[in-house]
Chains A and B, each alone.
Chain A
Amino acid sequence: QSALTQPPSASGSPGQSVTISCTGTSSDVGGYNYVSWYQQHPGKAPKLMIYEVSKRPSGVPDRFSGSKSGNTASLTVSGLQAEDEADYYCSSYAGNVVFGGGTKLTVL
């Protein structure tokens, strides 16, 4: 079971939108609607931002949205804010769990 593929970095200016991709296979991302996304600030534990492809836990701003097409899932952050600068990880559940390699989001 290989790690999901994410771009190592992404960036955007305050107020802009940025999309982070997460590519797997038909055995994980493409086969199930169990993709989740986590935000991690330096020295902190990950925080769940999206689960089951597009659902937001209570308390997560609606600036964060998720989607999926085929074997690729995406996290979009709209209206970028300085506090959105963090590492983002995708994950897929298909009986077992697999994470992506992470994307460092920089707010310019």
Chain B
Amino acid sequence: QITLKESGPTLVKPTQTLTLTCTFSGFSLSTSGVGVGWIRQPPGKALEWLALIYWNDDKRYSPSLKSRLTITKDTSKNQVVLTMTNMDPVDTATYYCAHSPPYSSGWFGLNWGQGTLVTVSS
């Protein structure tokens, strides 16, 4: 059974850096083809893709947020970490991580975490 869980602060101040951790089980990020992505959803709004990392450390970022994002993985801990700098109230959202299986050349979220709500406010 594959599970993912997001963790991190629920409240951050404007200009601060957000660090979120996705801890997963049931798969290995060292398996060829596997990827983990981050997606966010502001309250009442649509999903927005942020970043993804593959088993081979290939990293992709949303072009509009690339300068603010860093995604890393710790295979031994089964974790993927996303950092977002210079947080603003418009970044208030539920942040999800999702797993993409190895049997596709594309990326899609087969398994999702429950999400974590991050509020940006002073």
| Residue B62 is within 8 A (CB to CB) of chain A in the complex | yes
Residue interface mask A25-57, B partner, CB < 8 A = 1? 000000011101010100001111001100001
Docked-complex contact B109 and A93, CB < 8 angstroms: no
A91 to B87, CA, bound (A): 26
Which residues on the A side are within 8 Å of B109 (C-beta)?
36, 38, 46, 48
Docked-complex contact A34 and B49, CB < 8 angstroms: no
| Residue A1 is within 8 A (CB to CB) of chain B in the complex | yes
Docked-complex contact A36 and B96, CB < 8 angstroms: no
A96 contact from B63, B98, B104, Cβ within 8 A: B63
| Interface bin, chain A | 20 to 34
* Residues of chain B whose beta carbon lies under 8 Å from any beta carbon of chain A: 37, 39, 46-49, 52, 60-64, 96, 98, 104-110, 112-115
Closest 8 CB pairs of A and B: A34-B106, A36-B108, A93-B106, A97-B49, A45-B112, A99-B47, A51-B108, A102-B46
* Residues of chain A whose beta carbon lies under 8 Å from any beta carbon of chain B: 1, 3, 32-34, 36, 38, 40, 45-48, 51-52, 57, 89, 91, 93, 95-102
